[in-house]
Amino acid sequence: MPRAFAWGLPIALIALSWSCSKRPGEVASEQSEVAEQPPAKPTLTPAKLVGTAACASCHEAQHGDWLGSHHDLAMQTATPETVLGDFNDVKVKHFKETARFFREGDAFFVEAPGANGERARFRVVYTFGVQPLQQYLVEIEPGRLQSFLFAWDTRSREQGGQRWFHLQPDEYVEPGDPLHWTAPSYNWNYSCADCHSTALKKNYDRATKRYSTDYFEIDVGCEACHGAGSRHVELAEATGGSTNALAANAGFDRRLPRPAERIWTFREGESIASLRLSSPSDEVETCAPCHSRRADFGGESASFHDRYRVATLDELLYFDDGQIRDEVYVYGSFLQSKMHAAGVICSDCHDGHSTKLRLEGNAVCSRCHQAEVYDAPEHLFHEAGTPGSLCVDCHMPERTYMVNDDRADHRFGIPRPALAAKIGAPDACTGCHANKSATWAEREIAQRFEHRVAHPFAEALHAARTQRPEGEPGLVELVAVGKTPAIVRATALLELRNLGSPALPALLMRAGSDPSPIVRRSVAVAARSMPPEQRVEVVRPLLRDEARSVRIEAVSAVLGVHAGGWSAADRAALKSATAEYIEARSFNTDRGEGLADMAHVAMLAGDFNHAEENLREALEIDPTFTAAYVNLADLYRSQEQDEKAESTLRQGLEKAADRAAVEFALGLALVRLGRYSEAMAHLRRAYETRPETIRFGYVYAVAQFDGGQREASLRTLQNIRKRYPANRDVLQLLAGYNQQMGRAKAAERYATELEKLNAL
C-alpha cells in the first residue's frame, strides 16, 4: 500500500522537509584546495533503456528465473489471463458498502460508491501484485488511477483464500474519508506507480490537475534494478559477450555484485562466517527505493540519499526496540541489524531475479551460521520440523499487513520477552506461546543462555518517549557511540530535540560531520529547534553536503533566517540549495503536503497571496488535509483577518482528518479574540481527544489556571506528569503555579526535581 510518509500536522506553517535528487552546481568552499587532476576520461554517452527482451537472449537463465516472479507480475494489464479475482457478477458487502464485480466480454468492471458517494461503474485497467493478494486499479478520471479497497485473496481455499476482502476490515470508510479508495492515499500515480513499473514518469500537470503518467515497461524489469542497459549491450556486442572483457560495472552506472565477487568463509574457531572477498556494491541502496518507507522528490540521480528521504525509527512506524509496527518495507529494519554492520547485502540471501530465497528453511542461514551450532535443538529450543524450529520464527517474526500479507522483520533481533513487555512491543516467544507469560519466556531463555547482551537502544528510546529521567542520558550515549547504527543515531538526535535537551547543540555540531547522510539530515531537522544564530552555525556547512537530501533539509532549517554576515560562498551555496529545495517541493504539488511546503516558502518571502493560493489548492486536492486548514487560518490571522481564520478552522472541524489539531488551533484563535469560554471548550476537546500530545494538555492547563480553575489546572498538569514524568515544561509550570498558590513545599519539590533533571 502507499509507501509515502504519513505527514506531520504542525500548528504553525509547516516546512515538510523530505529528500530529493542531487543536481549539479554544488558550490565548493572558498578554502578548498585545487588538487592535481588526473587525465580526463572520455565522456560517456548517457545510457538508454533497451528493454527486458534485449537482455533475454544473452541472459536466458536469469530471464527464466524472473518470468513469473513478483517483479514480473508487479503490474499487468487486466485481461482474462491476468485477473485472478471472481468477476462473475459477484456482490460483496462491507458494512454499508456493497461492491459488484462483473465482466463485459474481456473487460472487467467494479460498481461501487465513488468520491461523491453515488454508485458508479469503474473499469479495471490493471492488476496490481499477485501473492498473497491481488489489487485492482481503476481509472476515475483520464490518467488518474486509484487502487480499489476490495482485494482478491489469491491463497488457496485451504489457506483461507479465494475470496474478496476489504483492506480496512474493521470499519466502514465513507466517501470523503482520507482512507476512502478515491482519496489521495490510494492514488496510484503518486503512491504506488514508481515501484511497480520500470522508469516511471509521474508527469503531473499542476495547471490542469491531470496526470499523464508513463513508464518504459509495465513491470519491474531488468533495468529497474540494473539501470539503463544500452552501454552494456554495446560492450557485450563489442567483446562477443566475454565476461572477462567487460568493464567493471559491465557498462552500467550501478555496481551490482556477481556471486563470485562475494565469498563468506568460516575462520578457525568461529561459528559465524566473515566476508573474505567482496567488491564495492550499490546493491542495498538499489533495492532501498522500493523496499523502504521513504519520500520521493524526483530527479535523475541514482544515489538513494539524493532522491529519497528514508524514515527514521519514528514511534508510529517502529516499536521502541526497532521492531516493525507500520508498513516500513525492510530497509529501515535492515539498517539496524548486525547483518548490515557485517556487510551482508540483499543478494546474500535472496535471488534478485526470482525474488526467492537462495535456499529453503534454515539452510539459507546455515551458509553463514554453522548448522552444528545454530541449527540444533539446543539453540532453537524446538525439535526440527516443529513450529518454532526455523531461525526466522524467533529472529524474523512476521507482522500481518493488508489483512493477509505476513512480512518478516529484517532487523534480525534477539527475543527479549521481559524487555518487550516493559516497552509494549511484540515478543516472538509469547507471540506463539500465547498462554504463557513474558516472565516464563525470559526464564526459559536464561536457562539456556547465561550471558545475554542488552538491547542497544530500546530502553533509552522508550524512556525518552515516555519522558523519564534516564531517557536523555541514554540518548546522548547512543549518539556518542560510533557503533550504534546510523538510523538509531539519527533517531536519537530527533528525540533529544523533542526533549529540549541542553546537550543537543554540542551533539549537533559533532554529528554534522557524521559519515551517514541519515544522521546529517537529522542534524538539520533537529537544528530547527535552536535559536537562529546557533542554528545557522550548525546548518550552514550542510548546505554544501554531498547528499541532496541533506542540502534540502538544511534549507528547511535556515529559510527565513537573515543571511547577513554570510560569505559570498555561503550565500551562493544557500541560493543553489534553495533552488533544489523548491524544485523538489514542486515535484509533489499533486499532494497537499507539497503545496503546503510551497506556501511556506511564499510566506517567508512575504508573498501572502501566493501562500494563500497554495493552501487553497491543497484543500481543493485533499479536503481532509489538516495542516492546510491550520496554516491557512494562521496566514489569515497574520493579516488580521480573524473572521476568515475562524471560518477556515470551523470548516476544518467538519472535514479534516485530525480533528484534535483543528480543535486546538480554533481554541487558540478564540483566545486571541478574547472569547475565553468558547476557547476553553475547544482546548478541552483537543486534550481529551489526544492526551498523549503534551502541548494540548499544557496549553489547556494554562487556560484553566488563567481562567480561575486553578485546582483543575494542577490536576491536568499532574495527569500529564504521570504520563511524562521528566517533562521540563510541566515541572516548571507546576513549580510556578504552586508558588503562586502559596504552596511552598510543593513548589520546592517540583523545582528540585527540575534541577536534578537539568543536572543529568
Q: Does residue 511 contact residue 493 with C-beta atoms inside 8 Å?
A: yes
Our CA dihedral for 692, 179, 153, 71, rounded to 10 degrees, sits at -90
In this structure, what C-alpha cell is assigned to residue 428? 516472538
Q: Determine the length of the chain.
A: 760
- Supply φ then ψ for residue 201, to 5 degrees: -120, 120
Which residues, in sequence order, are CB contacts of 318 under 8 Å at separation 6+? 324, 325, 326, 328, 332, 333
pLDDT of residue 181: 98
How many Cβ atoms from other residues are within 10 Å of residue 203's Cβ?
Answer: 12
In this structure, what C-alpha cell is assigned to residue 432? 506463539
pLDDT of residue 4: 40
Give residue-wise pLDDT tens across range 630-661: 999 999 999 999 999 999 999 999 999 999 99
Q: Does residue 222 contact residue 229 with C-beta atoms inside 8 Å?
A: yes
DSSP code at position 155: S
How many Cβ atoms from other residues are within 10 Å of residue 356's Cβ?
Answer: 13
Give residue-wise pLDDT tens across range 195-218: 999 999 999 999 999 999 999 999
pLDDT of residue 701: 98
Q: How many whole angstroms separate alpha carbon 236 and alpha carbon 511?
A: 45
Q: Going from the N-terminus, what domains does the chain have, and what CATH number goes with each?
A: 75-219 (no CATH), 658-760 (1.25.40.10)
Which residues, in sequence order, are CB contacts of 715 under 8 Å at separation 6+? none
Q: Where on the phi/psi map is residue 549: left (φ > 0), alpha (ψ -120 to 50), or beta?
A: alpha
Q: Rounded to 5 degrees, what angle do the CA atoms 612, 553, 472 make?
A: 115
Which residues, in sequence order, are CB contacts of 653 under 8 Å at separation 6+? 659, 662, 663, 666
Q: What is the mean pLDDT of the chain?
A: 92
Q: Does residue 291 contact residue 329 with C-beta atoms inside 8 Å?
A: yes
Q: How many whole angstroms separate alpha carbon 509 and alpha carbon 497?
A: 14
Q: Which helix (H) or strand (E) holds 141?
A: strand 133-141
Q: How many whole angstroms separate alpha carbon 624 and alpha carbon 658?
A: 8
Give residue-wise pLDDT tens across range 90-104: 999 999 999 999 999
Ranges in the chain, pLDDT < 70: 1-44, 243-247
Q: For residue 31, give the 3-state DSSP assignment.
A: coil
How many Cβ atoms from other residues are within 10 Å of residue 583's Cβ?
Answer: 16
pLDDT of residue 168: 97
Which amino acid, 25?
G
Q: Does residue 51 contact residue 63 with C-beta atoms inside 8 Å?
A: no
- Supply φ then ψ for residue 232, to 5 degrees: -60, -45
Strand partners, 756: none
Q: Calculate Rg over the CA atoms of the chain.
A: 28
Q: Where on the phi/psi map is residue 337: left (φ > 0), alpha (ψ -120 to 50), or beta?
A: beta
- Count how many Cα atoms sit within 13 Å of the Cα of residue 754 in the half-sphere of its side chain: 17
Q: Where are the alpha helices (DSSP H) in 449-591?
A: 458-465, 471-480, 486-499, 504-511, 517-527, 532-539, 548-558, 568-587
Q: Which helix (H) or strand (E) holds 438?
A: helix 438-448
* Among candidate residues 128, 135, 132, 130, the one with its CA nearest the CA of residue 159: 132
pLDDT of residue 18: 29
* Among candidate residues 330, 333, 280, 284, the one with its CA nearest the CA of residue 305: 284
Query: What is the separation of C-alpha 174 from the centre of its chain, rounded to a whole number of angstroms?
Result: 26
- Supply φ then ψ for residue 233, to 5 degrees: -60, -45
